[in-house]
Amino acid sequence: MQLASHHWLHVDAGFGQAGLAFVCTKSYDTHSAAPMIRQYLAPGGYVVSLQNCMNEATIAEVVGRGKTMGCIASNIGVGGERWSKLVANTLANGVSVCTGLPGAQIAQNEAIRHFQARLGSEAIRIGQARGYRLEEIDHLPPGTIARAGEGDAAALKTYDERRLSRVGRGSLDQRPSMGQDMAKGRRTEIEYLNGFVVREGEQVGIPARANGRLVVIVKRVERGELKQDPRHITELRLN
């Protein structure tokens, strides 16, 4: 759904009512943020989730589905764009947390890179089963990533070439946002990214084993039961 430009920042100064309110919190704070926003929302106003994860259902429980929208940072998006962004986040964030590696080193490690393809493949197939028409993810067609994660040799070659071509274009120490959160001692959003994929997969009868295992590992790292280590992925065996 698109909004006319004059709705982007409409505030009634007399009553303190907002025509448009953005939720930019961590996903685990959505449930507490939505009620606080509701009291300031104008009768015809909207609440927009500008977050890493797809939290529209949580917001809609508070303000109503007709007043809830989702978007990504670059532009307002339909469901396919939102899910494509979710896939991109499931590929990178949790892997950075459990390995302790920055993005460049993750891309250079073949075992970890291919595990990421498996994560993406599961998320893409689940999104497609949910009826989303996905956009490109890191300039790759979603079908290519899905087939790569499923072991298709040609697709895996294209996927590898794309991932490796990106190495060195940015800071070699750059970490995804969840990896940064872990370094700062913050709670992660793993349940709202890879965990969300697992739960959505259950709804359509598609198991997300790689995503599920990653959630377990990240939680153990978060609790201090495991130290960050690339071997959590490189030595992982999935059926």
| Burial of 144 (C-beta count, 10 Å sphere; 0-12/13-18/19+) | buried
Give the integer Cα–Cα distance in Å for 226 and 218.
9
The phi, psi pair for 69, rounded to 5°, reads -135, 160
Q: Tell me, what's the pLDDT at 78?
A: 44
The CATH classification number of 79-234 equals 1.10.1040.10
Q: Tell me, what's the pLDDT at 71?
A: 64
pTM over 0.95: no
The phi, psi pair for 154, rounded to 5°, reads -65, -45
Q: Is the pLDDT of residue 230 over 90?
A: yes
Residue range 124-161, pLDDT digits in tens: 999 999 999 999 998 999 999 999 999 999 999 999 99
Q: Is the pLDDT of residue 186 over 90?
A: no
| Burial of 5 (C-beta count, 10 Å sphere; 0-12/13-18/19+) | exposed
Q: Tell me, what's the pLDDT at 12?
A: 40
Residue range 49-101, pLDDT digits in tens: 776 667 777 778 777 777 777 665 544 344 588 899 899 999 999 999 999 99
Q: Tell me, what's the pLDDT at 234?
A: 96
Q: What is the mean pLDDT of residues 176-191?
A: 78
The residue with tokens 């590696």 is: 101
H or E element at residue 44: strand 41-49
Is 41 within 8 Å of 17 (Cβ atoms)?
Answer: yes
Q: Is the pLDDT of residue 23 over 60?
A: yes
Beta bridge partners of 46: 20
Q: What is the mean pLDDT of residues 32-36?
A: 75
Q: Tell me, what's the pLDDT at 7?
A: 35
Helix (H, G, I), strand (E, B) or coil at 42: strand
Give the integer Cα–Cα distance in Å for 86 and 63.
23
Over the chain, what is the mean pLDDT?
A: 82
Beta bridge partners of 69: 48
Return the closest-CA partner of residue 116 out of 28, 176, 172, 74: 176
Give the integer Cα–Cα distance in Å for 157 and 139.
15
Tokens of 158: 């294209």
Q: What is the mean pLDDT of residues 194-199?
A: 96
Taking every pair of C-alpha atoms in the chain, what is the biggest distance, in angstroms? 63
Structural domain boundaries of the chain? Answer: 5-70, 79-234
Is 206 within 8 Å of 182 (Cβ atoms)?
Answer: no
Looking at the domain 5-70, which fold is it? Rossmann fold (3.40.50)
